[in-house]
């Protein structure tokens, strides 16, 4: 039972209208510079053939007319019927492809890739195009193979909980399909309304509940992949345990479409939680955030499904841009806030565990204030304060976003050091080059998202911030991309963060699976550097 003083601290917030952020596709921006202009170091490789009318004629024998978008010479880029497929979600990368293909079967994908491989035509696989590293759009004129029209749930087994789906099935669609069966997708991320399972697998998507449900290397049981030469690798095992030889599917998880094109996914799905509780607390230091996290693992253990944190500046940004009319549920100003979620099978048990945890948190002076959501609407509202941070930043101006991981104790030090670094140079603050530098993320995964608005946007401004963040992460044994992937955005830093032996193994695997290099070129693996 909560003591009365703590009961007061855990005020019940009043219901308010709110919607969980379902990221929608950003409109094509004519301002988006061409990737090759922004990155003049990238040169179109002459090994790739330029698309000819005869090539399109071949694809017309494979696909019906409504599954081909072809627009060879648009007067302006935004007039192209392919505009949405050439530009990434963040409007940061733009290619100039004139052909986007929409296969409806694995066999069609196989015929497309075989032709491209035979004719040395470069290909970029595309799912929901919600990636934030420029991995799913062409750099130059690569043919786009979009998986949206392969969107069938092939099977679901209610005893094992294994779902087999086409790569183009949208995450949220699968989750809704599983809901009445009492199961759920073991993956949740902001883009769930648009992102596709094939893209999730190809980018090894992490998201909000990885700490509870594990990563895709553990949850994907089988894959169907079309290799670069059109060979179909039938590996859609639904077995939870299978040790017959090398686990080939693992290579394609997180390969960002550079080793083959994922067309089908067998996924282990857990039982859907019957009870969800969400609490938010205010904390005075990042030290306290960590203590609250360790205590949550102790007290909530098997029902803890998320532990998110953000800084005070993040609150101001969401309030200013998106939630002007909603009272922030925590009283007073605190350096940090944490949102923790439980998912379990028995409501009263979960509530008791959560109450006892919060009581301990208050009694040990770790948390200064806190609230518990009383119904589903409040759950969504509390989540909104966390989930609307990126969108609020994008509304406030041109926003740069980073996704790094490191030891938990160092997590927020990067933000502090960045503020100091750019502050001392007089570059940070209202009206200056950078503003609204803030940090938030998944404590449980050691995963920080650091964002900043950049005024008077130029490539150098982004490059300078990139350099600071990436070098800081590398220096502290962190990862320059925890979950977003390398794509085109971080390929220039791969020589700094991977050893020569790691890079040479990646190149060797690439050569085995895609000897002609047609699959998503220019990305993930860098050109050989001088050090090699």
> Residues 138, 168, 199, 485: which binds a copy of itself (CB under 8 A)?
485
CB atoms within 10 A of CB 66: 8
Widest pairwise Cα distance in the chain: 78
Please report, as residue ranges, which positions from 208 to 227 form the binding site for a copy of itself (by CB under 8 A): 210-211, 214-215, 217-219, 227
SS3 call for 19: coil
Nearer to a copy of itself among residue 28 and residue 468 (C-beta): 468
Nearer to a copy of itself among residue 37 and residue 294 (C-beta): 294
Tokens of 384: 């909104």
CB of 415 to a copy of itself, least distance (A): 18
Q: Please list, in sequence order, all residues whose beta carbon lies within 8 angstroms of the beta carbon of residue 416, skipping any fewer than 6 positions away.
A: none
* Eight-class DSSP state of 390: H
> Residues 50, 179, 287, 302: which binds a copy of itself (CB under 8 A)?
302
Binding mask 432-471 for a copy of itself (x = CB under 8 A): ----------x-xxxx------------------------
> Residues 108, 196, 343, 384: which binds a copy of itself (CB under 8 A)?
343
> Residues 2, 56, 394, 509: which binds a copy of itself (CB under 8 A)?
509
Q: Please list, in sequence order, all residues whose beta carbon lies within 8 angstroms of the beta carbon of residue 469, skipping any fewer than 6 positions away.
A: 402, 404, 414, 418, 450, 480
Nearer to a copy of itself among residue 352 and residue 416 (C-beta): 352
The phi, psi pair for 11, rounded to 5°, reads: -60, 145
Nearer to a copy of itself among residue 419 and residue 484 (C-beta): 484
CB of 48 to a copy of itself, least distance (A): 22
Q: Does 262 bind a copy of itself (CB under 8 A)?
A: no
Please say whether the beta carbons of 142 and 122 come within 8 A: yes
SS3 call for 41: coil
> Residues 376, 508, 529, 532: which binds a copy of itself (CB under 8 A)?
508
Nearer to a copy of itself among residue 59 and residue 293 (C-beta): 293
Nearer to a copy of itself among residue 313 and residue 496 (C-beta): 496
> Residues 201, 208, 461, 506: which binds a copy of itself (CB under 8 A)?
506
Nearer to a copy of itself among residue 327 and residue 512 (C-beta): 512
CB atoms within 10 A of CB 16: 15
Nearer to a copy of itself among residue 204 and residue 435 (C-beta): 204
User: 146 - beta bridge partners?
Assistant: 126
Separation of alpha carbons 445 and 190, rounded Å:
16
Q: What residue ranges in 329-431 does DSSP mark as E strands?
A: 336-344, 367-372, 399-405
Number of residues that bind a copy of itself (CB under 8 A): 96
CB of 272 to a copy of itself, least distance (A): 9
CB of 449 to a copy of itself, least distance (A): 12
* Eight-class DSSP state of 97: -
Please report, as residue ranges, which positions from 225 to 254 form the binding site for a copy of itself (by CB under 8 A): 227, 231-235, 237-248, 250-251, 253-254
Please report, as residue ranges, which positions from 396 to 415 form the binding site for a copy of itself (by CB under 8 A): 405-409
Q: Does 488 bind a copy of itself (CB under 8 A)?
A: no
Burial class (CB in 10 A: 0-12, 13-18, 19+), 358: buried
Binding mask 118-157 for a copy of itself (x = CB under 8 A): ---------------------------------------x
The label of the residue with tokens 């050569």 reads: 511
CB of 200 to a copy of itself, least distance (A): 12
The label of the residue with tokens 């609490």 reads: 279
> Residues 80, 148, 203, 263: which binds a copy of itself (CB under 8 A)?
203
Q: Name the segment binding a copy of itself (CB under 8 A); options: 59-67, 297-305, 332-340, 383-391.
A: 297-305
Tokens of 288: 């306290």
Separation of alpha carbons 209 and 307, rounded Å:
8
Please report, as residue ranges, which positions from 347 to 366 form the binding site for a copy of itself (by CB under 8 A): 349, 352-353
CB of 311 to a copy of itself, least distance (A): 19
Binding mask 40-79 for a copy of itself (x = CB under 8 A): ----------------------------------------
Burial class (CB in 10 A: 0-12, 13-18, 19+), 424: exposed
End-to-end CA distance of the chain: 63
SS (H, E, C) 437-505: EEEEEEHHHCEEEEEEEECCCCHHHHHHHHHHHHHHHHHCCCECCCCCCCCCCCHHHHHHHCCHHHHHH
- The sheet that has 143-146: what strands, in order across it? 68-70, 99-101, 143-146, 123-126
Nearer to a copy of itself among residue 157 and residue 375 (C-beta): 157
């Amino acid at each position: 039972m909560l003591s009365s003083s703590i009961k007061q601290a855990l005020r019940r917030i009043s219901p308010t209208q709110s919607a969980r952020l379902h990221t929608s596709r950003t409109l094509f921006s004519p301002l988006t510079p061409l990737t090759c202009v922004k990155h003049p170091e990238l040169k179109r490789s002459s090994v790739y053939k330029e698309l000819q009318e005869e090539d399109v004629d071949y694809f017309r024998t494979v696909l019906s007319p409504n599954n081909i978008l072809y627009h060879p010479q648009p007067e302006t880029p935004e007039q192209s019927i392919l505009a949405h497929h050439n530009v990434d979600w963040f409007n940061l990368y733009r290619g100039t492809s004139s052909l986007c293909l929409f296969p409806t079967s694995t066999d069609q994908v196989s015929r497309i890739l075989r032709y491209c491989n035979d004719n040395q035509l470069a290909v970029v696989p595309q799912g929901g195009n919600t990636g934030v590293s420029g991995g799913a759009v062409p750099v130059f004129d690569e043919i786009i193979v979009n998986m949206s029209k392969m969107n069938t749930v092939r099977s679901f087994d209610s005893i094992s909980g294994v779902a087999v789906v086409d790569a183009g099935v949208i995450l949220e669609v699968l989750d809704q399909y599983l809901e009445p069966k009492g199961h759920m997708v073991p993956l949740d991320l902001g883009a769930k309304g648009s992102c596709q399972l094939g893209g999730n697998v190809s980018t090894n998507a992490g998201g909000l509940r990885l700490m509870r449900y594990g990563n895709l290397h553990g949850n994907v049981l089988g894959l169907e992949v079309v290799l670069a030469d059109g060979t179909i690798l039938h590996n859609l095992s639904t077995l939870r345990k299978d040790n017959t030889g090398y686990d080939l599917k693992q290579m394609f998880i997180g390969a960002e479409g550079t080793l083959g094109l994922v067309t089908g996914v067998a996924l282990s799905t857990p039982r859907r939680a019957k009870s969800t509780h969400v609490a938010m607390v205010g904390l005075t230091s990042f030290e306290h955030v960590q203590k609250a996290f360790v205590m949550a693992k102790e007290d909530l253990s098997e029902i803890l499904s998320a532990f998110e944190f953000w800084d005070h500046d993040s609150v101001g940004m969401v309030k200013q841009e998106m939630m002007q009319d909603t009272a922030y549920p925590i009283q007073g100003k605190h350096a940090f806030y944490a949102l923790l979620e439980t998912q379990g099978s028995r409501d009263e048990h979960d509530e008791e565990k959560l109450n006892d945890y919060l009581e301990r948190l208050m009694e040990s002076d770790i948390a200064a204030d806190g609230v518990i959501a009383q119904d589903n609407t409040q759950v969504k509202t509390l989540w909104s304060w966390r989930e609307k941070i990126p969108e609020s930043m994008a509304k406030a101006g041109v926003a740069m976003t980073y996704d790094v991981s490191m030891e938990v104790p160092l997590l927020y030090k990067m933000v502090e050091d960045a503020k100091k670094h750019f502050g001392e140079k007089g570059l940070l603050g209202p009206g200056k080059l950078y503003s609204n530098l803030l940090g938030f993320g998944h404590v449980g995964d050691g995963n920080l998202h650091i964002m900043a608005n950049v005024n008077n946007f130029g490539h150098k401004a982004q490059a300078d911030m990139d350099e600071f963040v990436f070098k800081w992460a590398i220096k502290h044994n962190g990862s320059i991309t925890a979950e977003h992937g390398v794509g085109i955005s971080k390929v220039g830093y791969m020589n700094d963060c991977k050893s020569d032996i790691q890079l040479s193994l990646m190149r060797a695997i690439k050569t085995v699976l895609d000897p002609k290099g047609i699959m998503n070129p220019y990305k993930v693996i860098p050109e050989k550097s001088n050090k090699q």
